[in-house]
Amino acid sequence: MNTTPAPVSSGALGLPPHVVILGGGFGGLYAARALKRARVRVTLIDRSNYHLFQPLLYQVATAALNPSDIAIPIRRIVRRQANVNVILAEAEAVDTAAKRVILSDGAVSYDYLIVATGVVSTYFGHDDWARYAPGLKTVEDALEMRRRILLAYEAAEREQDPERRRDWLTFVVIGGGSTGVELAGALAEIARHVLTRDFRNIDPRNARVILVEAGPRILPAFSPELSATAERTLGRLGVEVLTGNPVTDIDDGGVSIGARRTGTKTVLWAAGVEASPLAQSLNVPLDRAGRVLVRPDLTVPGAFEVYVIGDLAAFEQDGKPVPGVAPAAIQEGRHAAASILRSLRGEPPAPFRYRDCGLLATIGRAAAVAERGSVRFSGPFAWLLWLLVHILWLIGFRNRFLVLSGWAWTYVRYERGARLITGEVRDLMETPSRRVEPGLPEKPLA
């Protein structure tokens, strides 16, 4: 790396203070927006050129939406905000003493820093599982999941051996949180409704979808009643729910759950996340998942000008952790921006207070669970609420119209618009079972 110039105090140069934001997710983006009218210079750094609407990422993984339906170029979002500079780069470390962020190809100095780099999938020490069971945090992850799901049906269609064919038609989702539930529900719908007439040698309705949760119930963030409702709804969709047993092994032939072995070629990982590795460079206390134990005003101990927000922040309120959901990240981003403005005016910091927006998880078409405080409901009404909330969130993004039309189409036709297998198909061909097409269909034609 080049030598980096000594940090320059913006004040000494007569320039407005420099606020650097790491991460263009919900937290970082809303922090930048909240600084719109402030006399500061904002630099927003992300390693992707787009903001990802992560709550709908599972719909890309299951071929219902295109990546660009839920990903919007960050430059486009902030292009009217003249005080924001967007940089496509990867932050590797924060040097709080020098007030500097080290990028993979340079460095940038700050007066205030907002760290919002989120979380990554974790395999709890079994990193070798990653190749068999992709996680779902990025667009690339989602496309890889989509590829594997669609290729599994193609392979099953060609497979002559009944046991191997059954393995290709077995889909295991690991992790019973909302992502896992959403994935399992969508997989069941694909099998039962989307692909039904597309194959000649297999019946996609025979596909098994298994949802595995190590804890005693799925959707542990919800009340036990809604967990039970979700489990029943998944059951009606044809999903087998296995709770109370952790996954003990994953390889290219199957999954071991407790003592039980299930043959499968497609495992999707929704079991755990840990903090983005950047947190470690802050040299402040972290929780078990590597998240930063922030102070009440979201700054970190020893560096009052550094805020950590969103999924990367571990923040407790009334004895309960604030959940890793978009509304929390948005509120924290706005709070960090407001705190910076208070600090510039010489006012003391104010503590952050999370306003609970409730929890929502969708299970399938016209099925969802919703909970806010003591209000709990499920079924088509919860699903409509889920749809409405997500549509409202998307307002302001150009993709709204396309997402709506795509969804409407899916709803009416039970279709999946993005059923493309991209990347190398050869991977499939390299499975141990090489096939011979006898050119004879199993059922003679009429």
Query: Rounded distance, CA 349 to CA 177, Å?
Result: 35
Are the C-beta atoms of residues 428 and 155 closer than 8 Å to each other? yes
CA distances (Å), 215 to each of 53, 240, 275, in order? 28, 15, 21
- Asked if 140 contacts 132 with a C-beta cutoff of 8 angstroms, the reply is no
Q: Which of residues 102-121 bind its own copies (CB under 8 A)?
A: 103-110
Give me the catalytic one of 90, 144, 163, 182.
Answer: 182
User: Is residue 432 at the binding interface for its own copies, with CB under 8 A as the rule?
Assistant: no
Tell me which of 119, 143, 284, 313 binds its own copies, using CB under 8 A. Answer: 143
Does residue 12 interact with its own copies by CB under 8 A?
no
Give the integer Cα–Cα distance in Å for 411 and 390: 16
In order of 27, 28, 40, 69, 397, the CA distances from 51 in angstroms are: 11, 10, 22, 11, 10
Binding window for its own copies (CB under 8 A); candidates: 268-276, 321-329, 351-359, 437-445: 437-445
Contacts of its own copies in 45-84 (CB under 8 A): 47-50, 66-69, 71, 73, 75-76, 79-80, 82-83
Contact 136, 145 (CB under 8 A): yes
Query: Has 92 been annotated as catalytic?
Result: no
* Closer CB to its own copies, 4 or 280, in the complex: 4
d(CA 318, CA 202): 53
CB burial class (10 A; 0-12, 13-18, 19+) of residue 210?
A: buried
Look-up: residue for tokens 């910076």? 340
Quick one: 168 or 222, whose CB is closer to its own copies?
168
Q: Which residue, 318 or 442, has its beta carbon nearer to its own copies?
A: 442
Strand residue runs (E) in 76-123: 84-88, 91-95, 100-103, 106-109, 112-115, 119-121
Q: Per CB under 8 A, does 250 bind its own copies?
A: no
Site string for its own copies, 406-425 (x = CB under 8 A): x--x---x-x-xxxxxxx-x
* By CB under 8 A, residue 97 contacts its own copies: no
Q: What are phi and psi of 389, to 5 degrees?
A: -60, -45
Over the window 177 to 206, marking each residue x when it contacts its own copies by CB under 8 A and - when it does not, the resulting string is ------------------x-xxxxx-----
Q: How far is the CB of 274 from its own copies (least distance, A)?
A: 21
Separation CA 328–CA 309 (nearest Å): 9
CB of 103 to its own copies, least distance (A): 7
Decide if 163 contacts 263 (C-beta within 8 A): yes
Give the integer Cα–Cα distance in Å for 22 and 110: 11
**Using CB under 8 A, which of 161, 401, 411, 427 touches its own copies?**
401
Q: How far is the CB of 435 from its own copies (least distance, A)?
A: 4
Strand bridging mode 359-364 / 367-372: antiparallel
Could you give the 3-state DSSP secondary structure of residue 275?
strand
Total residues interacting with its own copies, rule: CB under 8 A: 88
CA distance 119 to 271: 13
Between 367 and 403, CB nearer to its own copies: 403
Closest distance to its own copies from the beta carbon of 47 (Å):
6
Choose one: 15-23, 245-253, 304-312, 383-391; the region binding its own copies (CB under 8 A). 15-23
Q: Which is nearer to its own copies, 92 or 287 (CB)?
A: 92
Q: Contact, 115 vs 307, CB < 8 A? A: yes
- 112 vs 315, beta carbon nearer its own copies: 112
> Which CB atom, from 41 or from 165, has the smaller least distance to its own copies?
41
Does position 23 interact with its own copies (CB under 8 A)? The reply is no
| Nearest distance from C-beta of residue 414 to its own copies, angstroms | 12
Token look-up 């071929």 returns 63
Q: Which is nearer to its own copies, 159 or 371 (CB)?
A: 159
- Residue 86 CB, shortest distance to its own copies, in Å, is 8
Q: Footprint of its own copies on residues 336-375 (CB under 8 A)?
A: none
Contacts of 257 (CB under 8 A, 6+ apart): 212, 242, 245, 246, 247, 248
Among 150, 169, 309, 328, binds its own copies (CB under 8 A): 150
Residue 229 CA to residue 234 CA, distance in Å, equals 9
- To its own copies, the closest distance from the beta carbon of 2 in angstroms equals 5
Q: Give residues 281-320 in contact with its own copies (rule: CB under 8 A).
A: none
CB of 113 to its own copies, least distance (A): 11
Footprint of its own copies on 253-272 (CB under 8 A) = none
Rounded Cα gap, residues 259 and 173, in angstroms: 18
Catalytic machinery residues? 182
